[in-house]
Chain A
């Protein structure tokens, strides 16, 4: 038997009030752990130090919106760029590789975002020196599809599975007739690619309704400064069309002028060249070029960082309130425990010993609450992770451990010692003879 055992027995004696006070600490720690884990995952995801490409080129507008839509598929894409712009960029002297993507549709089942792209997309690493790995094959035919690991898991799709896609968001209600066939399943990457369905860009354009009407397309490319032949203008003036799906389209092979891309991932010939290329593009009025690291870092610093700080302050306050409740509970119990303390002193316990017992008791309550809170925090993340993933596409591993969690325990020990100090002092000062005669 030692002081900790005696303190533990004392806690047992007041099980209900002790449990409630420990629970209040546990709830504070639970929230703090959940905030730390989710923040860590979000930070890790959005603070990716490098990508397999240098720039994202997209329509003029918010650079953050472009990064969120192109990389994370969390925002709606802006006005698409003409395919001709991609072709021009591809041949730029500073460009080593350019990969266009078209986004905006989702799968009928599961509402997973669909990205139309070219096979070279998978030649770019999804993160620094992390190439894509696939079971099956990458995109080859127009209506081939490669799915992410979460799509496979949640939709139960495997190679050979067929699916259709919904135009725009899931609530648009318009399902395209064309069916795509899964030919490959990506190995998990821990990125939004896991919950993405990749289809061939040709297939994306081949879906009815995805082509831009020729007259509109010609107007747009003229604004981009590309020449339009008279023949095309004539063709645009007399289209062969009929109404089928509530919108106009024709059955002829799509002209490059009608093709559009949402964004272009660009690998330049070097880092310095990426800065030069971005400068050139951003000076113009057609598009913007963004190194995704910068807007994401800004997002983390300005928004996510402050939200994290606010949540940590809030959860810290919860723990402080819990600590105060432990203090009140122990302090109030001191008058009932004077006799116990007197007995222990009569048996030879020193003043410092009974002081230590009270300190150990408050520390045990804080630490016990902390351990329960740690388990509850991870359980909360376990429960919340599928919801977070469904809503944002961010994968949160409930078992991931944030090093800051380790700091919680010495802090709780310190808090426990602080709140046990005054009740401990009351125990220290107990008059033994008086306490025994009560």
Chain B
């Protein structure tokens, strides 16, 4: 999987009528199975960038190409399908559905890909993240660390090419941070998944070979 971003611009409308520029990325690349950490300050546009890459948010201009497919040119239903099949998401606040068990949350990740749900794979993934014994527990019955593990399992459910992790360790305690980070990196290596992880934590960033500062290639003020 390769990710190429070119001349990407994104701004938000201000209540007063003007626009606030958030992203202005001239060029960014991520190679297949590469693991990159993107470091930046709060409000710096990290989450917006991930949303644009995932096709959740449409940019004002520019392109995002994943595996030679220009995501930004796809219509919305196609972007949704592409996202379901090719991109895994790990959120800062896990975003597990409270009514669903751990296993069901992983199955839910498969539900929208159009490839059907595969219970065996979901069970394997939960075993891999060390939650084989808690797969029938609901999120409220799991610790925050366990919830994030479920979120990692869910993100990998559809065998994605790219995993986007948005501050995955920000909501877990120090003891769990290392474990979660290690887990994400390991499973991405095992499944040959490219990883783009955003964080504001230098400790997290220090564990990666390639660390990019968002401010180095994102110059919204230049819009």
Partner-B contacts on A (CB < 8 A): 1-2, 6, 9-10, 12-13, 339-340, 342-353, 432-433, 436-437
What are 9 pairs between A and B in contact, CB < 8 Å? Answer: A9-B99, A9-B104, A340-B97, A345-B56, A346-B54, A348-B112, A349-B111, A350-B77, A436-B91
Q: List A contacts of B81 (CB < 8 A).
A: 348, 350
Is B56 a contact partner of A346 (Cβ separation < 8 A)? yes
A342 to B89 CA separation, bound complex (whole angstroms): 13
- Having A9-B104, A348-B113, A350-B112, one finds 8 other A-B pairs with CB under 8 Å, namely A1-B104, A1-B111, A9-B97, A343-B97, A349-B111, A350-B80, A433-B48, A433-B57
A317 to B15 CA separation, bound complex (whole angstroms): 45
A352 to B112 CA separation, bound complex (whole angstroms): 11
A13-B98, A436-B91 given as contacts; is B80 within 8 A of A6 (CB)?
no
Rounded to whole Å, the gap between the CB of A197 and the closest CB of chain B is 62
Please tell me which one of the listed residues A1, A13, A344, A347 contacts residue B99 in the complex, with CB atoms under 8 A apart: A13
Please tell me which one of the listed residues A2, A13, A340, A348 contacts residue B83 in the complex, with CB atoms under 8 A apart: A348
Is A344 a contact partner of B112 (Cβ separation < 8 A)? yes
Is B54 a contact partner of A351 (Cβ separation < 8 A)? no
Does B11 belong to the interface (CB within 8 Å)?
A: no
Chain A residue nearest to B95 in the complex (CB): A343
A6-B108, A6-B111 given as contacts; is B95 within 8 A of A348 (CB)?
no
Is B80 a contact partner of A349 (Cβ separation < 8 A)? yes
Q: List B contacts of A339 (CB < 8 A).
A: 95
A349 to B109 CA separation, bound complex (whole angstroms): 9
Is A351 a contact partner of B89 (Cβ separation < 8 A)? no
Rounded to whole Å, the gap between the CB of A329 and the closest CB of chain B is 16
Q: List the 9 closest pairs (A to B, CB-CB), nearest first.
A: A348-B84, A13-B99, A348-B112, A349-B112, A9-B99, A1-B107, A343-B95, A350-B80, A348-B83
A9 to B57 CA separation, bound complex (whole angstroms): 28
Count how many pairs of residues, one from A and one from B, have CB atoms less than 8 Å apart in the complex.
75
Please tell me which one of the listed residues A1, A348, A436 contacts residue B80 in the complex, with CB atoms under 8 A apart: A348
Rounded to whole Å, the gap between the CB of A164 and the closest CB of chain B is 68
Q: List A contacts of B51 (CB < 8 A).
A: 432-433
Is B108 a contact partner of A344 (Cβ separation < 8 A)? yes
Rounded to whole Å, the gap between the CB of A16 and the closest CB of chain B is 14
User: Which of A13, A348, A433 has most B Cβ within 10 Å?
Assistant: A348
A7 to B66 CA separation, bound complex (whole angstroms): 33
Is A1 a contact partner of B108 (Cβ separation < 8 A)? yes
A433-B51, A433-B57 given as contacts; is B117 within 8 A of A346 (CB)?
no
Q: Which of B117-168 contact A (CB under 8 A)?
A: 117, 154, 158
Q: List B contacts of A350 (CB < 8 A).
A: 76-77, 80-81, 112
Chain B residue nearest to A353 in the complex (CB): B112
Is A351 a contact partner of B108 (Cβ separation < 8 A)? no
Does B47 belong to the interface (CB within 8 Å)?
A: yes
Against A, the Cβ 8 Å flags (1 = close, 0 = not) of B76-106 are 1100110111000101000111111000100
A12 to B99 CA separation, bound complex (whole angstroms): 7
Q: List B contacts of A432 (CB < 8 A).
A: 51, 56-57
Rounded to whole Å, the gap between the CB of B74 and the closest CB of chain A is 12
